[in-house]
């Protein structure tokens, strides 16, 4: 954690930003770093909004205007309309403060909505300039302290197209009409909801990014059209019966495997021995829940995770990307698998063997999955013990490794076996630790909900290059 000692530093930081011409996606930093250690992080930000425009509007709020809302929040003088805005500012400031505390060099941001195509950068630019580049309170936006965190800058960033909210031409949910969210290729009330983005302090090799948004589920070996398996229900659609395939042949032929997108993004990291390329393998699989008549979501979650296992293991000859490129990652390439995979290797509703196989793969660094440097926290066990996390997952064998208030280890940062892991962590302050108000404040959102920051925790793995 890097601290700025006084509130005055906020004004200085804002003043410095005023003169910056920071409208381009890529620009060289003033000093080219030669790092030894690089921290990779994944964080489901829970920036879920009713539409993308709302997120853009919140990210456009300048620091001085944010402070007006916060002053009124502390004074209790906000109107009902102002309070709604202030709550969003608190959430975004807290998320920014968590990032400033843990200071990753590379950050995959889950649930950072975009316009669907990943071509609009207004929200991500506003987040960088109006929140991350401004000192946040070290103990949370709602704390009374005046100790400030050092701003953090990411010179390189990227959005990605998503299948969430992308309306198909088929009645995928079999309710007799074609409409959002049930008939989108990935669940979403609008195109771009639940998308993910990337922030990096190192250059992104844009010419060699691979995306797999359009890879078809049917083209993965062993995958089949989901069938009706819960046969004792009374809501089986008319004309269908137990054992019937859920999707029509036409819909199954077009159904993408990725509920959002799968992307391979090379970042170029300068070291004393020259440039080092690390491939960021990012995705956000569908949660293996909400199934009723079929095991559709469980099957899809399994496929989305198995995709990466095949991609890194030499078994991905069947894979094709959105530009027609074939196969998985190049042999001996360094990589980090990052994101909310919605899968815990020992608990939860999914097919556990798939995520377990990935975490035990000979191609990944075991130290960061189940070994000495598997990310941990002190706050996770406390969350389970005091009833703030889901009681049904009380029996988890590793409460210190959970990453969400579900009480499950859903979020992952998994480096390749050639990357030397030296440290890791899950940002989850316990009640006696600094930063508690980032994740727990009864005055906002009932205390621990995503209204305060997120229902997931930032986790990171640091490697030595």
Q: What DSSP string describes 386-407? A: TT-S-GGGTT-S-GGG--BTTS
197, two tokens: 């983005």
Q: How far is CA 289 from CA 264, 297, 348, in A?
A: 26, 6, 9
Q: What is the CATH number of domain 3-464?
A: 3.60.10.10
Q: Beta strands of 224-366 (E only): which ranges?
A: 263-271, 274-282, 334-340
pLDDT at 36: 76
How large a percentage of the chain has pLDDT more than 90? 87
pLDDT tens by residue, 232-260: 999 999 999 999 999 999 999 999 999 99
Q: Which of 440, 430, 460, 450 is nearest to 103 (CA)?
A: 460
227, two tokens: 């069938």
Cβ burial of 444 (10 Å; 0-12, 13-18, 19+) is buried
Residue with tokens 């049930």: 182
Could you tell me the pLDDT band of residue 22, with boundaries at 50, 70 and 90?
very low
* pTM score: 0.93
Strand partners, 340: 411
Decide: 220 and 311 in contact? Cβ < 8 Å: no
Taking residues 113-128, what's their average pLDDT?
Answer: 98
pLDDT over threshold 90, residue 184: yes
pLDDT at 15: 43
pLDDT over threshold 70, residue 352: yes
DSSP H or E stretch at residue 412:
strand 411-415
pLDDT at 7: 44
pLDDT over threshold 80, residue 366: yes
pLDDT at 292: 86
């Amino acid at each position: 954690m890097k601290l700025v000692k006084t509130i005055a530093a906020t004004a200085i930081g804002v003043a410095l930003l005023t003169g910056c011409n920071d409208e381009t996606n890529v620009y060289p930093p003033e000093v080219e770093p030669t790092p030894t250690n690089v921290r990779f992080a994944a964080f489901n930000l829970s920036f879920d909004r009713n539409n993308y425009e709302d997120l853009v509007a919140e990210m456009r709020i300048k620091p001085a205007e944010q402070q007006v809302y916060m002053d009124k929040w502390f004074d209790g003088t906000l109107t009902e309309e102002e309070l709604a805005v202030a709550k969003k500012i608190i959430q975004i400031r807290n998320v920014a403060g968590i990032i400033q505390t843990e200071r990753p060099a590379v950050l995959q941001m889950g649930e950072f909505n975009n316009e669907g195509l990943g071509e609009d950068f207004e929200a991500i630019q506003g987040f960088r300039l109006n929140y991350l580049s401004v000192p946040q309170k070290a103990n949370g936006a709602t704390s009374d302290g005046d100790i400030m965190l050092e701003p953090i800058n990411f010179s390189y960033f990227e959005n990605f197209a998503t299948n969430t909210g992308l309306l198909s031409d088929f009645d995928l949910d079999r309710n007799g009409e074609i409409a959002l969210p049930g008939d989108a290729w990935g669940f979403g009330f609008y195109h771009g909801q639940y998308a993910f983005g990337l922030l990096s302090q190192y250059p992104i090799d844009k010419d060699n990014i691979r995306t797999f948004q359009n890879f078809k589920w049917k083209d993965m070996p062993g995958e089949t059209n989901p069938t009706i398996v819960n046969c004792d229900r009374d809501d089986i659609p008319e004309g269908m019966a137990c054992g019937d395939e859920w999707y029509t042949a036409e819909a199954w032929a077009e159904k993408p495997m990725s509920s959002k997108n799968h992307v391979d993004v090379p970042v170029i990291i300068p070291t004393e021995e020259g440039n080092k390329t690390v491939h960021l393998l990012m995705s956000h699989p569908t949660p293996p829940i909400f199934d009723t008549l079929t095991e559709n979501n469980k099957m899809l979650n399994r496929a989305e995770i198995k995709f990466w296992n095949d991609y890194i293991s030499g078994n991905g000859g069947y894979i094709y990307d959105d530009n027609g490129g074939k196969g998985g990652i190049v042999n001996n390439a360094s990589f980090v698998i990052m994101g909310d995979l919605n899968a815990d290797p020992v608990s939860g509703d999914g097919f556990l063997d798939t995520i377990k196989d990935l975490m035990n793969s000979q191609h990944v660094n075991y130290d960061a999955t189940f070994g000495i440097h598997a990310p941990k926290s002190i706050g996770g066990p406390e969350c389970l013990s005091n009833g703030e996390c889901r009681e049904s997952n009380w029996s988890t064998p590793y409460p210190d490794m959970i990453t969400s208030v579900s009480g499950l280890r859903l979020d992952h940062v998994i480096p390749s076996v050639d990357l030397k892991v030296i440290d890791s962590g899950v940002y989850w302050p316990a009640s006696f630790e600094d930063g508690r108000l980032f994740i727990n404040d009864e005055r906002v959102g009932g205390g621990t909900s995503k209204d305060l920051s997120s229902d997931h925790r930032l986790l990171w793995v640091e490697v030595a290059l």
